[in-house]
Structure 1
Amino acid sequence: MQDETEDAIAELHAMLQRADSIVSFTGAGISTESGVPDFRTPGSPWMVNKPIPFEAFVKSPEARIEAWRRKFAMDDHYRDARPNIGHQALARLVTEGRSPAIVTQNIDGLHQASGVPDEQVVELHGNGTYATCLNCGWRHELDAIRPIFEATGDPPSCIMCAAPVKSATISFGQAMPQEAMMRAQALALECDLFLVVGSSLVVYPAATLPVIARRQGAKLVILNREPTELDEIADLVVRAEIGAVLGRLAG
């Protein structure tokens, strides 16, 4: 089994060297190595601090208070998280001009922290490092929101229009960002290697992207510790730790 894994890793690196346009698609698995908890691991703090559904957030001040309490509780779980060697490896592909962008399901901002410009990170599920007004879209910084929330217990409202302010993530029941999804689909259509890193590929419509790339003729590689539903259509599946597999790319 060890020899098979080593052979798969060697083939992955050979495929990366041959590719001209690589799109990396990342999920929670790349950030767990930085200490960011995922949703599905038994005992995950996300099970205690489940995100409030969007409809409840909009309708109820009490739900907004609880949403913000849970938001800051989760932030405390990974406030010291830093990009790991997997993030750095993918950032290097972007820096070298071999990857036009990274598409991510993650909300932690670690790809940007690894040096990838904002415009080259396509965030399908938003970003948890800041907040936005649900009415006018004005950006609000968490460092300004948290002290007031903890002092008053009141959910934040927009300084521009007084509407509710929410973490800039996509909650259950909230519409996916159409622009991000359209850009991700375009990238999937144009690449010659689609590299899935640390995603279980069970969340749709994001999980359609590897299928789009594969049908267009791109090579599909899935690097994930656990099996996924798309393993059978992949050109290569590598089941190993992300940092160990991608480490040599970052050096």
Structure 2
Amino acid sequence: MTASIFILTGAGISAESGVATFRDAGGLWSKVKLEDVATPEGFLRDPAAVHAFYNARRANLREVEPNAAHYALARLQRDYEGEVTLVTQNIDDLHERAGSRSVIHMHGELSLSLCAHCGARAKAESDLSLTLSCAACGTASSLRPDVVWFGEMPYRMNEIYDRLMDADLFVSIGTSGAVYPAAGFVAEARTAGIRSLELNLEPSDGTFLFDEARHGPASKLVPAFVEAALAS
């Protein structure tokens, strides 16, 4: 039976495309306070500033393209005979633009808006602002980015844990190992006897928990991993 693969990706896989990271040296959290732009309380205090922050992130995303790591994972999903679950902590759409399907965005998607009043989601075709109303319920000034902020529960967690527990191999790509609950996946895998592999630019906080760790650029490590997986 072909092994089932569960893949988790983080900011490191998109950094080589030019998407700004959050936690690295010089990352976004060194320039803005996360409590101001990435918490429900920050949005209540100054929604205009929060919209400006995410509008800038959305503009940046329009200027970048998927890299070799994104394309390699899309190829793995397409050509691998076993099950491949792709979960990302990233709010960008680079996996989809590279051709990946059924990507689970546990922290939401920058390209979507969420109505704080009725919960409706819609494409964020343009910048979000306080002047926009929800197309579903008509409530004014109710739209926010459909991203998971600190203090909020990541999306689809029951499904994610079920898929992780059904996997034969857990692969963590480009993650710091500092943000929970995703940082706990490797410990869950270890307890369940699931093999684990870290592909990261440098050792993460949880490197010691992995069965194997390879360090270097995602654009080099991920295609090599995919080639080996398809060859086996």
Match 1:85 to one of 68, 87, 90: 68
Q: Which runs of 5+ in 1 are unaligned?
A: 1-17
Cα deviation, 1:159-213, whole Å, max 9, x if unaligned, reads: 3320611111001222322xx1111111111111101100011101111112112
| One-letter identity of the residue aligned with 2:98 | S
Cα deviation, 1:97-120, whole Å, max 9, x if unaligned, reads: 434320111110211112122xx2
Match 1:65 to one of 48, 58, 61: 48
| One-letter identity of the residue aligned with 2:18 | G
| One-letter identity of the residue aligned with 1:77 | N
Q: Which residue of 2 aligns with 1:170?
A: 148
Distance of 2:131 and 2:182 partners within structure 1? 31
Instruction: Return closer, same or farther for 1:35/1:218 CA change in 2, 3 Å cut-off.
Output: same
Pick which of 40-49 and 211-220 moved more.
Answer: 40-49
Pick which of 197-206 and 222-231 moved more.
Answer: 222-231
Q: Which residue of 1 aligns with 2:176?
A: 200
Distance of 2:198 and 2:117 partners within structure 1? 39
Q: What's the offset of the Cα at 1:35? A: 0.7
| One-letter identity of the residue aligned with 2:62 | R
Q: Which residue of 2 aligns with 1:53?
A: 39
Distance of 2:38 and 2:108 partners within structure 1? 15
| One-letter identity of the residue aligned with 2:174 | G
Q: Which residue of 2 aligns with 1:38?
A: 21
Query: 1:104 and 2:88 equivalent?
Result: yes
The higher radius of gyration belongs to 1
Q: In 2, are the aligned partners of 1:54 and 1:171 still within 8 Å (CA)? A: yes
Distance of 1:158 and 1:231 partners within structure 2? 44
Distance of 1:55 and 1:197 partners within structure 2? 31
Distance of 2:194 and 2:158 partners within structure 1? 18
Q: Which structure dedicates a bigger proportion of its chain to helix?
A: 1
Q: In 1, are the aligned partners of 2:77 and 2:84 still within 8 Å (CA)? A: yes
Instruction: Return closer, same or farther for 1:188/1:52 CA change in 2, 3 Å cut-off.
Output: closer
Q: Which residue of 2 aligns with 1:115?
A: 99
Instruction: Return closer, same or farther for 1:203/1:71 CA change in 2, 3 Å cut-off.
Output: same
Q: In 1, are the aligned partners of 2:87 and 2:105 still within 8 Å (CA)? A: yes
TM-score, normalised via structure 1 length: 0.80
Q: Which residue of 2 aligns with 1:6?
A: none
Q: Which residue of 1 aligns with 2:113?
A: 131
Match 2:160 to one of 156, 163, 184: 184
Distance of 1:167 and 1:240 partners within structure 2? 32
TM-score, normalised via structure 2 length: 0.86
Map residues 137-148 of structure 1 onto 2, 5 A cutoff: 137-146=119-128
| One-letter identity of the residue aligned with 1:31 | S
Q: What's the offset of the Cα at 1:45? A: 4.2
SS at match of 1:101: strand
